[in-house]
Structure 1
Amino acid sequence: MANEQSTAGNPQLQHWFDLTGLGRKELAALVGDRAAAKGEPNVRPDESRVRRWIRDGEIPRAPVPEILAALFSERLGIPLTPADLGLPGPDRPVLLSGVDLPWHAASTVTAIANLTRTDMMLDSSSDDAAVVKSGDDLTRPLERWPYAEPSVLSPRSGPFTGRVGMSDVEGIRALTAMFREADNRLGGGMTRKAVVATMYDANNLLKTAEYNEKVGQQLFRAVAALGSVAGWMSFDAGKHGSAQRLFVVALHAATEGGDKALGAHILQCMARQMSHLGHIKDALDLLALAQYGSRHQAGPATKALLAGLESRFRAIDGHLTESDAASAAAETAFERIGPGDDVPDYLRWFDRAELCATLGIAHQIAARQSSGNERYRRAERSTEMITEAMGLRPAGRVRSTAFDHVGLVRTHLAVGELDGATEHTRTALTLLSTLTSARVGDRLSELRDETTPFAGQSPIRELREEIDTVLATTG
């Protein structure tokens, strides 16, 4: 009656089941009756089987997914597919919860359509780190990315909903740039759903509109860039399962667009998420994959970004010599960016300020792992670089500026400079209180933990209370 099982349950099936108002026993009877009418008399689920479909994520064998979709569609008056119910079917060859999607244009378009539609329909408040893929489950399917080439959409004879040109692609890119700015100014929680909805609409053009090969390639790239923002906002909002799935389908779209550099950008977003969740080996593996796969297309900005992150992750992993080497490589690559270089839209946020902040944090992490004069030397370098970053930040980079102040606080704490820590904590709290971002709460919780050795001292005791106040109100 079932062929596989997920430990995360099936929230999509639960959502639609609840809307029907049916009981589990009633649904089981309806499925059995419908199966018998289709010539499948041996399909006779009971109440406990339905419970396992919903609660345990057990996948019923065919034809049950199609029967459930038909029953729910009739009951609710909404056309639903097995994909909408989180189940496999003829329109969805792979499960949305997986990373191992086929590297094929039609599969990519279908996966994006299913994922974005489901994301818009469901309340993903319970979508957390528990459903994120890690280790070999994450990296092995992605190891095919460096060798994946654009495929060709299946011939489409129409009728088409309209014709797409480069002006439409540019419109999607303009919206993507607007969403990026809103993300840094307000946090991912405010506009995440709007980005996902826009991605759904943009992807629908790939399926239903008429376009030539050049426009189709650029449209795939635009959908991929939009997906990277949707994934990033989901990550920032603490919707980690949604974030990872969005990153994966965006990576596939970038492949269909023939853009390995954009794919590397998406992989570094995934690496940041994995580092945030404590999977530092996965983060380093994803970075190595990005560096290798984009080696023929990546410009100096991409190389500087990837090397800078490697420096940070190597420091977290305790390999300080390798961290320093990556830091030097990032500086060298960044210096090679010429004034006439065509930096893509998705990489324009990576400026001198971002490089300094990234490397400054790497030095801060290394300082905490060092002792004696070496700790002070690294802390001084961290302070210099993060301070330079703050001086270069554009006014709209609110979250980045706030995180710069948090970085300085942690650097000051590493060497016991409580006055500096106090000053920058208050500035950071003022900025962070304006953002809707789960990452803000995570950073503040980490910062509070690092103040524990100084909790008995008056300034730090008061700051801990202020941090608690912001944590209580930050989404």
Structure 2
Amino acid sequence: MPRPEKQLSPEASPRDWFGHELRTWRKLRGPLTHAELGVKVQVSGSLLEKIEKGTATCSQDLARRLDEFLETGGVLTRAWGMVFGQTEKPRPETESTPFGGVGISVQVQGGGTLDSARTRTSSESPASVDRRAFLTASGLAAITPIDLVRLVTPTAPREVPAQISPREIGQLKSLADVIHRQDNEHGGGGAVRELARGAIMWGAGLLPVPCSETLRPELLASVARLGIVVGASQFDAYAHDDARVSFRLAAECTEEAGEWHLRAKTYSFMARQEIWVGDPDTGLTHAEKGLVRSDRLTATERAMLHTARARAFGKMRDVANTLRAVGEADAAFEQSDPKQDPPWMAYYDYAQHHGDTAHALFDLAVHADEDPGQAARRFDIAVKGHGNAFARSRAISQTKLASLVMAKGDDPRQAVVLGHRALDDVGKLTSCRAADDLRELARFAGRYGSLSDARDLRERIATTVQA
């Protein structure tokens, strides 16, 4: 039987009062469990439980969503400023607003999460047991049986065609190309994030539209690729909840379409995101799933996924498995033939491969006292090989190289020079990941407090990341 919930003391502090108020409304409107309410407002149930206990901060956007769903009349939003307004600071991972800041529909489509069958109420179970089994096996069950489409589709009327035609599919492909290019050149924040948000709403909204059997696989593949590039830009902007929804949508589309190449790409990005946010075990699971039926993948795709495995092992400080995975990635990449790769894999070239594997070796050098030389050589190849079209990748590799030299080298002034070069690129980006890497470099530079060049670098980094 479930454990009894902890007694709350609303008089203890403003946070405790806020948590008690949230629990009161949650019980009144259900009663709902933390997990059930979390699905409705698109945050984890554990976060809501912590807010109720007064041990976690509630964002202003989350307070609004709670008010809207629980129909409180705005109690939590009005109280938010007095309780959290002076203390809330930006966090690397935010519980972000639903796409477009609008309400979410409560209709679930039957037959499969992406099928356009009859409407069912949200309390019913999914018709497809196989689909639920896939979600559970894929580690994506946190939001089932909620329809993935409605998580990115607003209730407001939107312009959709009466029937899917090649024109809509062409537009989806063009949107994905534009977002991919803009994201790599400028980062995932700012205008790119707004473009991505609108694109995924429109793309997901096409899935229930009538579509011929011959066009359906191409529609699913086009939405999947859009979900991948949008998720990647959201990941870069640290809109992690939004990114996970976009990646889940992409994964579902690839499964339904039987698109193995896009499936591999989706799981590669899902792995990278979880590794980045500090969950390398889940990241490794995603990478391994991407390698299922690797005989259907190109050598470049296998290299990409083995690199994700290496990065996961690197975060775990598992030297033997990291080196083994890097070796497997290198062996696969040696067999790469761009003519066999789908167009979206063109980014994974010589520079990208060396930069990605260098990240895994960086963790071994800095945290496991392994030789930094191999990581440094690979970062150098990545920096020299990335053109302006991949300014973010170049900046991140340059920053990590500077950090490596600052942490493990014997010439901090060389690291300072590399750091300033990275700042020349990062200053033009809206990338949370690039900014976090700069903060790491500043921490390493702090070891040389008596060196004026290192102090100057830290000051420039502080100015850049605050801009």
Q: TM-score, normalised by structure 2?
A: 0.70
**Could you tell me whether the CA contact under 8 Å between 2:438 and 2:461 is conserved in 1?**
yes
Equivalent residues in 2 for 1:248-287, closer than 5 Å: 248-287=248-287
Give the residue type in structure 2 aligned to 1:205: L
Give the residue type in structure 2 aligned to 1:263: R
Deviation digits for residues 284-325 of structure 1 (CA, Å, limit 9, x no counterpart): 22212222x242422111100011222222222122222122
Deviation digits for residues 10-50 of structure 1 (CA, Å, limit 9, x no counterpart): 9678349569998379xxxxxxxxxxxxxxxxxxxxx9xxx
Q: CA deviation at 1:236?
A: 0.9
Equivalent residues in 2 for 1:166-181, closer than 5 Å: 166-181=166-181
Deviation digits for residues 324-362 of structure 1 (CA, Å, limit 9, x no counterpart): 221121111112122531x22332211111001112222
2:161 aligned with 1:111: no
Q: CA RMSD in A?
A: 3.6
**Could you tell me whether the CA contact under 8 Å between 1:177 and 1:345 is conserved in 2?**
no
Structure 2 counterpart of 1:456, from 439, 447, 450: 450
Q: CA deviation at 1:176?
A: 0.4
Give the residue type in structure 2 aligned to 1:210: C
Instruction: Give the distance between the partners of 1:428 and 1:13, measured in 2 at CA.
Output: 38
Instruction: Give the distance between the partners of 1:309 and 1:460, measured in 2 at CA.
Output: 33
Instruction: Give the distance between the partners of 2:144 and 2:210, measured in 1 at CA.
Output: 16
Structure 2 counterpart of 1:385, from 375, 378, 396: 378
Equivalent residues in 2 for 1:297-312, closer than 5 Å: 297-312=296-311
Give the residue type in structure 2 aligned to 1:457: L
Give the residue type in structure 2 aligned to 1:261: H
Aligned-partner SS, 1:391: helix
Structure 2 counterpart of 1:362, from 360, 363, 369: 360
Structure 1 residues 411 and 254: CA distance shift in structure 2, 3 A: same
What corresponds to 1:444 in structure 2? 438
Equivalent residues in 2 for 1:75-474, closer than 5 Å: 81-82=105-106, 90-92=120-122, 102=132, 111-118=147-154, 161-190=161-190, 191-211=192-212, 213-291=213-291, 293-341=292-340, 343-371=341-369, 375=370, 378-413=371-406, 414-473=408-467
Instruction: Give the distance between the partners of 1:24 and 1:449, measured in 2 at CA.
Output: 42
Q: Which has the higher contact order (CA 8 A, sep 6+)?
A: 1
Instruction: Give the distance between the partners of 1:120 and 1:468, measured in 2 at CA.
Output: 41
Q: TM-score, normalised by structure 1?
A: 0.69
Instruction: Give the distance between the partners of 2:319 and 2:389, measured in 1 at CA.
Output: 33
Q: CA deviation at 1:171?
A: 2.9
Aligned-partner SS, 1:214: coil
What corresponds to 1:133 in structure 2? none
Q: CA deviation at 1:209?
A: 3.3
Deviation digits for residues 120-168 of structure 1 (CA, Å, limit 9, x no counterpart): 99xxxxxxxxxxxxxxxxxxxxxxxxxxxxxxxxxxxxxx944434453
Instruction: Give the distance between the partners of 1:468 and 1:119, measured in 2 at CA.
Output: 41
Q: CA deviation at 1:369?
A: 3.8
Give the residue type in structure 2 aligned to 1:358: D
Structure 1 residues 311 and 13: CA distance shift in structure 2, 3 A: closer
Q: Which moved more, 1:420-429 or 1:321-330?
A: 321-330
Structure showing greater Rg: 1
Instruction: Give the distance between the partners of 2:103 and 2:315, measured in 1 at CA.
Output: 49
**Could you tell me whether the CA contact under 8 Å between 1:108 and 1:252 is conserved in 2?**
no
Aligned-partner SS, 1:435: coil
Unaligned 5+ residue runs, structure 1? 26-46, 56-77, 122-159
Give the residue type in structure 2 aligned to 1:382: A
Q: CA deviation at 1:405?
A: 0.7
Instruction: Give the distance between the partners of 1:196 and 1:90, measured in 2 at CA.
Output: 27
Deviation digits for residues 213-239 of structure 1 (CA, Å, limit 9, x no counterpart): 231011111111111111111111111
Aligned residues: 369
